Structure 1
Amino acid sequence: MNKENPMLDKLKTILPVIAANAGRAELERKVPDENIALLKSIGMHRVFQPKQYGGMEISLPEFTDCVAALAGTCGGTGWAFSLLCTHSHQLAMFSRQLQDEIWGDNPDATASSSIAPFSTIREGNGGVYLSGEMGWSSGCDHAEWAIVGMRRANAKGELIYSFGVVPRSDYEIRDDWYAVGMRSSGSKTLVLTDAFIPNYRIEAAKDMMEGSSSGFGLYPDSDIFYTPYRPYFACGFASISLGVAERMLVAFKEKTQKRVRAYTGASVGTATPALMRLAESTHQIAAARAFLEKTWQEHAEHGRNHQYPSRATLTNWRTNQAYAVKNVHCRR
């Protein structure tokens, strides 16, 4: 899609360095500090941060184009950094008090997450005490805060899936991430032991999906915050898959262009089977991009029109992304 995207233009200037660091990222099992510094130098960590704190509030289609380009350069960096970005969108739906605490003195602050409710809680005065081993917190080495999942009982005793936000001082990072192919995401385990989370740092997931969280309505002139948190949180995963698939096409062409068969000397890159697979993959990935772009444009249009999406619309958006990812990867 031809459109102006200043953030993508800035990103392209640093991608060669991030590409050169890909091997190092796998060895270090996290996003290299240099990559984070470069991405922050162009302000990409602030794309979904409220303008009140110096953020950019760019559109979802602009962001997903950037994530696809970044993921095609280093998948782990794209995965971890996109989450640091989308978490800012989620934090903007928490209380003003929390947002002031996070960004008031450090507008560059980011949060990682571990949202599966693998935790135990006990009620305290004005909040809860949380303990647990919270896994898969991508990019946690570079975050000042973490969003963690819990199930908290309401007045009726019902367990409500909720999120709590804790500062880096309240948890340890267990260096246990060795997943093949995604070591560079640094998705390690956060260990919390009786970490106190005050009520102003807690929101029910249901409220954040229905426009009734503490932060909803704080930014009435914004296009990107009149929405549930989850479409923005989930968009990075599909755009990462798209970027990796698009890079696969380039890598395949580069690998086969000058390759010859050992016994016959025939060119692999011009052989009919290779060209047929390349052609099919090219069309599949182009179709997936077009489908995803249409979906992300619908997200943006709802925001611009301040039209809160229905459950049916949300379901359609989410399954669209899953279907597109399936199509670009199921036959590779």
Structure 2
Amino acid sequence: MEVTQAPSRTELVKRATDLVPLLRKHAGWSEENRRLHDEVVDAMAEAGFFKMRVPTRYGGYESDTRTQAEVTAELARGDGSVGWTMSVWTIPGWMVGMFPDEVQDEVHATPDVRVCGTLSPSAMATPKEGGLVVNGQWGFISGAQHSHWQEIIAMAPTPDGAGLWPVMALVPMSDLEIVDDWYTAGMRGSGSVTTVARDVFVPQERALPLPAVLQNQYASVLNADLPMYRTTLLGVAAASSVGTVVGLARAAREVFFERLPGRKITYTEYDSQREAPITHLRVAEAVMKIDQAEFHAHRVTGLVDDKGLSGESLTLEERARSRADVGAVCQLGKEAVDIFNMASGGSSIYNSVPIQRIARDVQVVNMHALMLPETNYELYGRVLCGLEPNSPYI
């Protein structure tokens, strides 16, 4: 495939900004239908976003995580579900690069290929000549209905047969069943349905032991020296997850101030909410929280990108801090959204007012197991106190 000049971070972010009106136009449809609108997915492909975390030999851009996060933030400013699904697609899409090069050739034979995925080992795999047979299911698979492949995790016998270990594998979506069960309080447009495998055969070359992957033992030869693959899976996952919350917080700020002129504070003598001191205090607090969230987002993406360029490994403390940075982004972003939401008045509960959807979306993101602030802070605190981490996902 011909290698083209990759667009700059500035250009990719501008493309995302240009899509914001389209995303807002279809946000209500996506929420009602519990999946992204086809026009939105097509526009994302045309903008080149599915190429960001793809090697240049496949026509990709090899964008760094800072670029991915800033693009995702702009998309989430238009619709949180779009930002979230984009971030999810970039993580398993990047994970394709861990597999043998011939497997990557197969996956990237599809233009603008989209790969959904999970890190939950909620299936079983049994050995069969030439590979594994997988049975089980995976929940919360964002973007499944618009994906071509899924990265799955299943428990399989260890090579010595003495126990089980998780394996990571790639499966075409045509081999899986989709259960339409995504009826949720928020992030409805992400279409994070359940997928099911029934006696699905996975060739051996499309399966890797997850413990090896978590220790940076990848099977690709051609990607070994690429900066974006000289880092850890969890580090990349952390850095790739922050954009959505930043974008939602920015969206809350934007839609609040759009409605502010002319708004009264009902049952008070304030004819203008803009004149009330409580408004001044609360909006300043919210905006400062967004600034703080952006700091943590920049720190975690910068760390992963710098390590990829230098080839240095993340220390245990840096890996734990990356999880804590994600937790801080989530906590601060949600607190900012909550302030703007509560200050938006009773009229903001109508579906036509975006702040109610933004508040529900940021709440759902905060409840994600790898992003929950308290869990991530505990992990970081354990490491700071000299204890072993109580999770392999670090």
TM-score with structure 1 length normalisation?
Answer: 0.93
Other-structure match for 1:250: 254
- Equivalent residue in structure 2 for 1:322, among 303, 309, 327: 327
Q: Distance in 2 between matches of 1:277 and 1:35?
A: 34
Aligned residues of 1:53 and 1:107 also touching (Cα < 8 A) = no
- Equivalent residue in structure 1 for 2:318, among 310, 313, 322: 313
Letter in 2 for 1:54: G
Other-structure match for 2:95: 90
Letter in 2 for 1:256: L
Other-structure match for 1:102: 107
Q: After superposing the two structures, state which structure 1 stretch, 260-269 or 76-85, moved more.
A: 260-269
Letter in 1 for 2:94: H
- Confirm or deny that 1:120 pairs with 2:124: yes
Q: Provide Cα deviations, 1:150-172, integer angstroms capped at 9, x if missing partner.
A: 11221342321221110122111
Other-structure match for 1:292: 297
Other-structure match for 1:204: 209
Letter in 1 for 2:56: K
Aligned residues of 1:150 and 1:161 also touching (Cα < 8 A) = yes
The CA RMSD over aligned residues, in Å, is 1.7
Across the two proteins, how many residue pairs are aligned to each other?
Answer: 328
Aligned residues of 2:34 and 2:189 also touching (Cα < 8 A) = yes
1:221 deviates by 4.4
Q: After superposing the two structures, state which structure 1 stretch, 291-300 or 274-283, moved more.
A: 291-300
Aligned residues of 1:111 and 1:145 also touching (Cα < 8 A) = yes
Letter in 1 for 2:61: M
Q: Distance in 1 between matches of 2:303 and 2:239?
A: 13
Other-structure match for 2:19: 14
- Confirm or deny that 1:30 pairs with 2:35: yes
- Confirm or deny that 1:236 pairs with 2:236: no
Q: Distance in 1 between matches of 2:128 and 2:76?
A: 42
Q: Secondary structure at the match of 1:316?
A: helix
Q: Structure 1 pair 17/190, CA: closer, same or farther in 2 (3 Å)?
A: same
1:230 deviates by 2.1
1:314 deviates by 1.4
Q: Provide Cα deviations, 1:3-42, integer angstroms capped at 9, x if missing partner.
A: 9522111222222111111111111110111110000001
- Confirm or deny that 1:77 pairs with 2:82: yes
- Confirm or deny that 1:173 pairs with 2:178: yes
1:100 deviates by 1.3
Other-structure match for 1:184: 189
Q: Provide Cα deviations, 1:138-188, integer angstroms capped at 9, x if missing partner.
A: 000111100111112213423212211101221111111111221100001
Letter in 2 for 1:253: F
Q: After superposing the two structures, state which structure 1 stretch, 204-213 or 38-47, moved more.
A: 204-213
Q: Structure 1 pair 4/99, CA: closer, same or farther in 2 (3 Å)?
A: closer
* Unpaired runs of at least 5, structure 1: none
1:54 deviates by 0.9
1:265 deviates by 5.1
Q: After superposing the two structures, state which structure 1 stretch, 200-209 or 276-285, moved more.
A: 200-209
1:232 deviates by 2.0
Letter in 2 for 1:206: P
Q: After superposing the two structures, state which structure 1 stretch, 163-172 or 30-39, moved more.
A: 163-172
Other-structure match for 1:223: 227
Other-structure match for 1:155: 159
Q: Distance in 1 between matches of 2:213 and 2:172?
A: 21
Aligned residues of 2:65 and 2:304 also touching (Cα < 8 A) = yes
1:98 deviates by 1.2
Q: Distance in 2 between matches of 1:198 and 1:192?
A: 15
- Equivalent residue in structure 1 for 2:198, among 193, 196, 209: 193
Other-structure match for 2:58: 53
Q: Distance in 1 between matches of 2:317 and 2:123?
A: 31
Q: Distance in 1 between matches of 2:65 and 2:159?
A: 37
Other-structure match for 2:271: 266
1:288 deviates by 1.5
Other-structure match for 1:279: 284
Q: Secondary structure at the match of 1:27?
A: helix
Q: Structure 1 pair 268/173, CA: closer, same or farther in 2 (3 Å)?
A: same
Q: Secondary structure at the match of 2:240?
A: helix
Percentage of identical aligned residues = 24
Other-structure match for 2:363: none
